[in-house]
Amino acid sequence: MENIEKIAIIGAGGFGREVKCLIDDINSKEKQYEVIGFFDDNIEVGKSINGIKNLGSIESINNIDYNLNIALGVGVPEIKKKLISSINNTNIKFPNLIHPNVIKSTDDVAIGIGNIICAGNIITCNIDIQDFVTLNLSCTVGHDTTIKSYSSFMPSVNISGEVIIEENVYVGTGAKIINNLSIGTNTIVGAGAVVSKSLPENCTAVGIPAKPIKFHN
Ligand SMILES: CC(C)(COP(=O)(O)OP(=O)(O)OC[C@H]1O[C@@H](n2cnc3c(N)ncnc32)[C@H](O)[C@@H]1OP(=O)(O)O)[C@@H](O)C(=O)NCCC(=O)NCCS
Interval 174-191: pLDDT, tens = 999 999 999 999 999 999
Confidence of residue 7 (pLDDT cuts 50, 70, 90): very high
Q: Which residues contact 183 (CB under 8 A, 6 or more apart)?
A: 163, 164, 165, 166, 169, 171, 177, 189, 195, 198, 199
DSSP 130-177: -SS-EE-TT-EE-TT-EE-TT-EE-TT-EE-SS-EE-TT-EE-TT-EE
Average pLDDT over residues 96-105: 98
Q: Whose CA is nearest to atom 42 of ligand 1?
A: 172
Percent of residues, the chain, with pLDDT higher than 70:
99
Position 164 scores a pLDDT of 98
Ligand 1 closest atom vs CA 174: 44
**Topology of the domain covering 98-205:** UDP N-Acetylglucosamine Acyltransferase; domain 1 (2.160.10)
Residue at 122: amino acid letter: I
How many angstroms separate the Cα of 16 from the Cα of each of 21, 52, 77, 118? 9, 11, 14, 12
CA atoms of 79 and 72, how far apart (whole Å): 10
Q: Whose CA is nearest to atom 3 of ligand 1?
A: 190
Whether 204 is in the pocket of ligand 1, judged by its Cβ within 6 Å, is yes
pLDDT at 2 over 80: no
Residue extent(s) of CATH 3.40.50.20 domains in the chain: 5-95
Q: Are strands 48-49 and 5-10 parallel, antiparallel or unpaired?
A: unpaired
3-state secondary structure at position 214: strand
Q: Vertex 123, ends 83 and 196: CA angle to 5°?
A: 85
pLDDT digits (tens, 9 = 90+) for 188-201: 999 999 999 999 99
Whether 190 is in the pocket of ligand 1, judged by its Cβ within 6 Å, is yes
Confidence of residue 217 (pLDDT cuts 50, 70, 90): confident
Which mutation among 170, 206, 213, 216 tests ligand 1's pocket best, with the greatest number of atoms within 8 A of CB? 206
Distance between Cα 124 and ligand 1 center (Å): 30
pLDDT at 134 over 60: yes
Residue extent(s) of CATH 2.160.10.10 domains in the chain: 98-205
Average pLDDT over residues 141-168: 98
pLDDT at 149 over 90: yes
Whether 192 is in the pocket of ligand 1, judged by its Cβ within 6 Å, is yes
Q: Whose CA is nearest to atom 47 of ligand 1?
A: 154
Report the CATH number of the 5-95 domain.
3.40.50.20
Ligand 1 closest atom vs CA 172: 44
pLDDT at 43 over 80: yes
Rounded to the nearest angstrom, the gap between the alpha carbon of residue 196 and the centroid of all alpha carbons in its chain is 24
Ligand 1 closest atom vs CA 204: 1
